[in-house]
Every structure is written in structure tokens, then in C-alpha cells.
Structure 1
Amino acid sequence: MIRHLNPASMPAPVAPLYAQISIAPAGPLAFIAGQVAINAEGRLVGKGDHRLQAEQCFRNLKSALDALGVGPEHVVRMGLHVVRHSDDLVGPIFEAGHSVFGQGWPVCASLFLGVERLGQADWLVEIDAIVSLVADFGALRISV
């Protein structure tokens, strides 16, 4: 499975939602395109609402993981892109993720980035991911 490291020589994560380093076993990777708040029917969910849009983005990410036959523990890296980001959006966006993944939150190397705009004016959140399709490391040795 994916190994997560937080070396003592690096700052501790500001929340237990990510790791400073994620190591994936050698093998195939899947690159999940940026998921926006478009549902399976092609409709935008949560116009004007960051939390509702984030929840749909996480649903789409979970659907992609399901289609690959893997779980959130296979996510190596996740990028969250948020239009007009402010400190008060962090909580609602992570709450949206927890409403989809529950205790299975994909702890991984991650990026939370405020952006001016996404591909369409009504899109407020976009989430992409890199996923390992390999189950274990075999003989890999890591020392930190």
C-alpha cells in the first residue's frame, strides 16, 4: 500500500489530512483528471456554494476510484483548487470530503491552492488525483 512519511526534519502537517511524503510501489499509476461539480447527468451542483461543489467533486473522485477498483488508500497525491480561497473555506471543503469518504479520507501528499478562476466561471472547486494501482511494496526499504 501507499506509505506516508512525515520526517522529523520537516514541519509537521498542519492537519492530519495529508502527509509530507507519499511513496507508491512501482507499477501502474492512474491520473484522475480535475473533477468539478458536474454530476453524472451533466448538471452543475451547488452553483455559488464552495462546500456543495466540493462535495460533488469528492463524489466524482470516489466514482473514479470505484471505477478503477481501488479505494482512497491508493491515492498518492491530490490537488484541490479553490476559486477565491479564504481561510474560512478550508473547514467546509474538508467537511465535504469527509461526508463522502468518512473515516476513509485519502491521506496523501496534497496541494490546496487558491486560484483566480477555473475552466468555467461557475466552477468554484476542482480536485485531481494520482492513484497507485499496485497493492504492496514487496521488498522496498525506507528509513527516515
Structure 2
Amino acid sequence: MPSLEFPAAPSVNGYSHAVVVAPGSRIVHTAGQVAIDADGGIPDGWEEQTRLVFRNLGAVLASAGAGWGDVVKLTYFVTGVDQLPTIRRIRDEFVDVARPPASSLVQVAGLFLPGLLIEIEAVAAVPA
């Protein structure tokens, strides 16, 4: 799926303003994924939580027949925006940085369990 260039829009830093989905693609929307491991534990710290969220999200995508190369949109819900460089660095381990997905980041007062720092949801377009 190609990213679009928008000359009148501000320059981007690691994401696309828009991504065009090919006609006939199967669209997969995930629920927000958080940093809860298989034993119900929540790791400490931004790096550990962000990496686990991306792993959990990857597993959900795979179960729906999608992969990181199919992701066209990520939405982040974070309890603090000061860790954006950490989040982006870890995200770059998973997504195609040559064709980054469109993304939005929302700072929230808290997530559904104490100790959670980040939640991410994805939209993927799987070629027909």
C-alpha cells in the first residue's frame, strides 16, 4: 500500500499522513493491545511494555492472517508523551520504516489497569 505525499502538510517524522488501500483488500481492525504477558503480569517501564504490546499486537494480527507489512494505521494511547522516542524506536523493529503506517497518538489519564503505560490498536489491509 503506497503512502501519499502532501506538499501542503507539515513534514512527517516516522509516519505517513495517509496510506492508500488497494481495492479488494481485506481490512483487519484490532482491539487495543496492552502489555499483559501470558501469566497476567505487567512488566515495568516503557521499553518493556512497548515491546510486549507490539509482540501481542503481532500475535493478534497473525491470528487474523495479517502481518506487520499489512499495517496501514496505528493508534497509540499513552499515559505520557515524553517516551515517544522510545515508542518509535521499538515500533521501528516491527514496521516497515520505508513505508510507515499512518498513526495517531493520544495522551490519556490512565488505562484500564493500574501500571499500564501504553495501548496500541492497528488497522491492516491484507491484499486479496
TM over 0.5: yes
Amino acid aligned to 1:21: A
Distance 1:24 1:41 in 2: 37
TM-score, normalised with respect to structure 1: 0.77
Structure ID, larger Rg: 1
Is structure 2 residue 105 aligned with structure 1 residue 112?
yes
CA RMSD of aligned residues (A): 1.9
Give the Å deviation of 1:66. Answer: 2.2
Q: Does 1:11 align with 2:10?
A: yes
Which runs of at least 4 in structure 1 moved beyond 4 Å after TM superposition? none
Question: What CA distance in whole angstroms lies between the structure 1 residues aligned with 2:40 and 2:113?
Answer: 14
Shift of 1:84: 2.6
Matches within 5 A, 1:10-89: 10-13=9-12, 15=13, 17-27=14-24, 28-44=26-42, 46-47=43-44, 49-86=45-82, 89=83
Matched residue count: 126
Unaligned runs of 5+ in 1: 136-144
SS of structure 2 residue aligned to 1:130: strand
> Partner letter of residue 35 of structure 1?
Q
Using the alignment, how far apart are the partners of 1:6 and 1:104 within structure 2? 17
The Cα of 1:125 is off from its aligned counterpart by: 0.4
Which stretch has the larger CA shift, 60-69 or 71-80? 60-69
